[in-house]
């Protein structure tokens, strides 16, 4: 029997498209096609400007936020999966706390729960789109007009629902990898390639430069009389990508891939086949993967937008002092950066110099990020069905047990490793994200970590598919 709260919402879930689970017979080339199609739609959406906004936008009040989300100002994909992820986290938190009941063993209820999450995600998207317009992200409502304002809200909501459907399609086995991780990986990789190889010319008042780190390095070496100065500029130029940023990106990426290999293998065997059927059950150090990082990003972005809108409307007061105060950057008029409150604490240091000369902010940010990374990782394994109890149930339902242990001891044995791996892995990724931001990796630190973990996961899924596991 369906839970009463889901029965109330069930009629409204039919308003949105729903993707059924892929059949077990689906071939890898079909998965690759659907994955390519989803990425193509996402990438094209990032290039489509919002119809109805001002043709020239001098200010970007969400500049700091975009450094975290790798988003492009004024496109239909500006919201992406952010509101959806927030809604999923809130609903699963309520389920975990017992406020909402949900039976994972009931297949019909599981399907409806997914549709309910999709509906709530669409509602969150609508509210956030309206909030963007009211907050003046694309100009005041008076300048836009009610018709254009309504069109912008519709475009943002519609594009986000499309993204939600594509994410669900990949989650249900029609593609390779998870939708949210795949899209974030695509965005991060595009930004890294652009910052490495861009031939766009920029004049900052002391000669023409290339935006990309590698073309700029060769340009300096061939055009500057002083080769020492050329090498110095190539490696440590300020304000634009440099070779040290490229090196830091490669090192952090390789380190995360290396960490993926750390795991605890528990020997398992089939109850009827004995030791002849013995296999390994791996528990990775990065057990929760990059999903908690995405949740923390979304919490940070929501807090940033709300506090910034409140600060713009009310100015400095007790509430904005707690949530966040801002200041306009003199070098980038119209772009504001947090200077106090929770938003300031959650904003990562943007360089090694910033981390060194603002030790209080660095310490506070590190403590908060480590705590949140560990906490969200621990909570997430309960939400996602990856807890020790859920894993033990899956093993026992398929008649697998841990070698030399009774069936009743499987959950207790898994409990020794899974919670520890989840919390430890979350803390490690939180610290790595900080290190990546401080040393100026191309793209945000958390974005790079999510891309690295997602690519490893896609590779592992592809390998399992080829082996027929």
Q: What is the pLDDT tens value at each position of the chain, 469 positions in all?
A: 456 666 777 777 777 887 888 887 777 788 888 888 888 888 888 888 888 776 434 455 555 555 445 456 678 888 776 677 777 777 777 776 666 666 666 677 777 777 887 888 888 888 888 887 877 777 777 777 888 888 888 988 888 888 888 888 888 888 877 767 777 788 888 888 888 998 888 887 777 888 889 999 998 888 888 888 888 888 888 878 889 889 989 998 888 888 888 888 888 888 777 667 788 888 888 887 777 777 787 778 778 777 887 887 787 888 888 888 887 765 554 567 788 888 888 888 877 788 888 889 899 989 998 898 888 888 888 777 788 888 888 888 888 888 877 878 888 888 888 889 889 988 988 888 888 888 888 877 777 877 887 788 777 777 766 655 5
pTM check: above 0.85: no
CA quadruple 222, 228, 230, 234: dihedral positive or negative? positive
Of the candidates 25, 31, 57, which has an alpha carbon nearest to the alpha carbon of residue 138? 57
Contact (Cβ atoms closer than 8 angstroms) between residue 294 and residue 454: no
CA pair distance 130, 349, nearest whole angstrom: 30
CA pair distance 183, 196, nearest whole angstrom: 20
- Collect all residues with Cβ–Cβ distance below 8 Å to 297 and sequence separation of at least 6: 68, 69, 446
Of the candidates 357, 360, 326, which has an alpha carbon nearest to the alpha carbon of residue 340? 326
Superfamily per CATH, domain 249-469: SecY subunit domain (1.10.3370.10)
Render 193-246 in DSSP notation, one character per residue: HHHHH---EEE-SSSEEESSHHHHHHHHHHH-S-HHHHHHHHHH-SSS--HHHH
Contact (Cβ atoms closer than 8 angstroms) between residue 290 and residue 185: no
Of the candidates 242, 250, 187, 232, which has an alpha carbon nearest to the alpha carbon of residue 210? 242
Render 338-377 in DSSP notation, one character per residue: EEEHHHHHHSPPSSHHHHHH-HHHHHHHHHHHHHHHHHHH
Architecture category of domain 1-8+26-175 in CATH:
Orthogonal Bundle (1.10)
Of the candidates 184, 34, 10, which has an alpha carbon nearest to the alpha carbon of residue 114? 10
Give the chain's largest Cα–Cα span: 79
CA pair distance 287, 416, nearest whole angstrom: 13
CA pair distance 405, 101, nearest whole angstrom: 33
Contact (Cβ atoms closer than 8 angstroms) between residue 45 and residue 155: no
pLDDT computed for residue 289 by the predictor: 76
Of the candidates 210, 253, 222, 217, which has an alpha carbon nearest to the alpha carbon of residue 235? 217
pLDDT computed for residue 56 by the predictor: 38
pLDDT computed for residue 460 by the predictor: 74
Domain with CATH 1.10.3370.10 in the chain: 1-8+26-175, 249-469
pLDDT computed for residue 67 by the predictor: 47
């Amino acid at each position: 029997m369906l839970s009463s709260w889901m029965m109330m919402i069930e009629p409204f879930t039919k308003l949105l498209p729903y993707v059924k689970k892929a059949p077990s017979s689906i071939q890898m080339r079909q998965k690759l096609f659907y994955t390519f199609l989803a990425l193509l739609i996402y990438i094209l959406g990032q290039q489509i400007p919002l119809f109805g906004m001002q043709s020239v936008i001098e200010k970007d009040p969400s500049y700091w936020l975009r450094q975290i989300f790798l988003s492009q100002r004024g496109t239909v994909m500006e919201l992406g999966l952010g509101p959806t992820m927030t809604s999923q986290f809130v609903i699963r938190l309520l389920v975990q706390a017992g406020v909402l009941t949900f039976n994972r063993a009931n297949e019909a209820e599981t399907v409806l729960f997914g549709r309910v999450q999709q509906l709530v995600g669409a509602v969150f998207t609508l509210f956030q789109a309206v909030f963007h317009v009211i907050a003046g992200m694309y100009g005041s409502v008076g300048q836009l007009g009610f018709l254009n304002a309504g069109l912008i809200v519709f475009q943002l909501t519609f594009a986000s629902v499309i993204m939600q459907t594509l994410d669900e399609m990949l989650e249900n086995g029609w593609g390779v990898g998870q939708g949210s991780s795949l899209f974030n990986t695509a965005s991060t990789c595009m930004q890294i390639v652009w910052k490495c190889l861009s031939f766009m010319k920029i004049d900052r008042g002391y000669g023409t430069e290339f935006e990309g780190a590698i073309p700029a390095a060769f340009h300096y070496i061939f055009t500057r009389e002083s080769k020492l100065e050329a090498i110095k500029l190539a490696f440590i130029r300020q304000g634009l990508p440099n070779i040290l940023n490229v090196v830091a990106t490669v090192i952090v990426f390789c380190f995360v891939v290396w960490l993926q290999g750390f795991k605890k293998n528990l020997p398992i065997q089939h109850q009827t086949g004995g030791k002849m059927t013995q296999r390994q059950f791996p528990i990775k150090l990065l057990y929760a993967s990059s999903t908690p990082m995405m949740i923390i990003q979304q919490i940070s972005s929501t807090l940033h937008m709300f506090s910034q809108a409140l600060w713009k409307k009310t100015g400095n007061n007790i509430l904005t002092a707690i949530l966040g105060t801002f200041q306009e950057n003199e070098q980038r008029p119209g772009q504001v950066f947090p200077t106090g409150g929770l938003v300031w604490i959650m904003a990562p240091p943007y360089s090694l110099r910033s981390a060194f000369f603002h030790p209080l902010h660095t310490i506070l940010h590190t403590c908060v990020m480590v705590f949140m990374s560990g906490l969200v990782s621990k909570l997430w394994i309960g939400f996602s069905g990856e807890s020790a109890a859920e894993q033990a149930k899956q093993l026992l339902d398929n008649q697998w047990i841990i070698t030399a242990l009774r069936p009743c001891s499987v959950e207790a044995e898994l409990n020794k490793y899974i919670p520890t791996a989840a919390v430890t892995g979350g803390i490690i990724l939180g610290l790595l994200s900080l290190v990546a931001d401080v040393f100026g990796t191309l793209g945000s630190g958390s974005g790079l970590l999510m891309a690295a973990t997602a690519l490893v996961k896609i590779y592992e899924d592809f390998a399992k598919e080829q082996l027929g596991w």
